[in-house]
């Protein structure tokens, strides 16, 4: 018995890529402005899904704070949003509505890490379509701390150049390897949209 095959007349995505990165997207002065947004009073232990009940030191150990959308940070929202929309248009074609959450600043010190995970899942994170990570530390400032992606059976590391922006579908498996020396700082954001259909 032959399977039933339905015609598929939708446009394809020949430029799809599991990972897209833009080296040196932010300048040194941009990075200093971003780092100054760290809010020590509201620093918290990172969670897995945005709730305090979502902590798990065997999967993730780092400190984070959140950047509210206000006059001194709106430029960062605009820059990341515009780049995300451009990347989506060139590579993915997902339906996007805007940022899923406030931008997250993360600091990984010695012993901190984020093991293999996806940014997409059930519940509140089910609307995430594209994840964005911005490298705020130079590769000489820390050891370990590689942002890696599982592509087929290979762990692929992306550039550690300060100012680099990495964009990828939120369902791609990725991790930050343990920091063995120094401090790694980054910005993380998610562009969201309606459920896949």
8 within some domain? no
- The answer as to whether 14 is a domain residue is no
Q: Is residue 27 part of a domain?
A: yes
Could you tell me the pTM of the whole model? 0.91
Return d(Cα 160, Cα 144) in angstroms, integer: 11
Q: Residue 11 falls within a domain, yes or no?
A: no
120 belongs to a structural domain: yes
Query: Has residue 186 been placed in a domain?
Result: yes
- Tell me the CATH number at 144: 2.60.120.620
Task: Note whether residue 161 is domain-resident.
Answer: yes
Into how many domains does the chain fold? 1
The answer to whether the CB of 63 falls within 8 A of the CB of 176 is no
Residue 10 inside a domain? The answer is: no
Q: What are the tens digits of pLDDT across the range 28-76? A: 999 999 999 998 888 888 876 544 455 677 899 999 999 999 999 999 9
Burial 64-83 (b: 16+ CB within 10 A, else e): bbebeeeeebeebbeebbeb
Q: How confident is the model at residue 96 (pLDDT cuts 50, 70, 90)?
A: very high
């Amino acid at each position: 018995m032959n399977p039933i095959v339905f015609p598929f007349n939708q446009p394809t995505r020949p430029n799809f890529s599991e990972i897209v990165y833009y080296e040196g997207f932010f300048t040194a002065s941009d990075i200093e402005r971003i780092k100054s947004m760290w809010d020590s009073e509201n620093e918290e232990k990172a969670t897995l899904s945005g709730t305090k009940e979502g902590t798990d030191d065997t999967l993730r150990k780092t400190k984070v704070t959140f950047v509210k959308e206000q006059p001194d940070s709106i430029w960062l929202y605009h820059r990341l949003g515009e780049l995300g929309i451009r990347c989506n248009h060139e590579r993915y074609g997902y339906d996007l509505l805007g940022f899923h959450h406030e931008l997250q600043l993360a600091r990984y010190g010695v012993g901190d890490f984020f093991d293999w995970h996806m940014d997409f899942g059930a519940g509140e994170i089910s609307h995430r379509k594209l994840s964005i990570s911005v490298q705020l530390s130079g590769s000489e400032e820390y050891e370990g701390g590689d942002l890696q992606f599982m592509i087929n059976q290979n762990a692929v590391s992306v550039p550690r150049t300060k100012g680099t922006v990495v964009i990828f579908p939120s369902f791609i498996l990725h991790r930050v390897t343990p920091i063995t020396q120094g401090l790694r700082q980054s910005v993380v954001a998610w562009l969201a949209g309606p459920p896949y259909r």
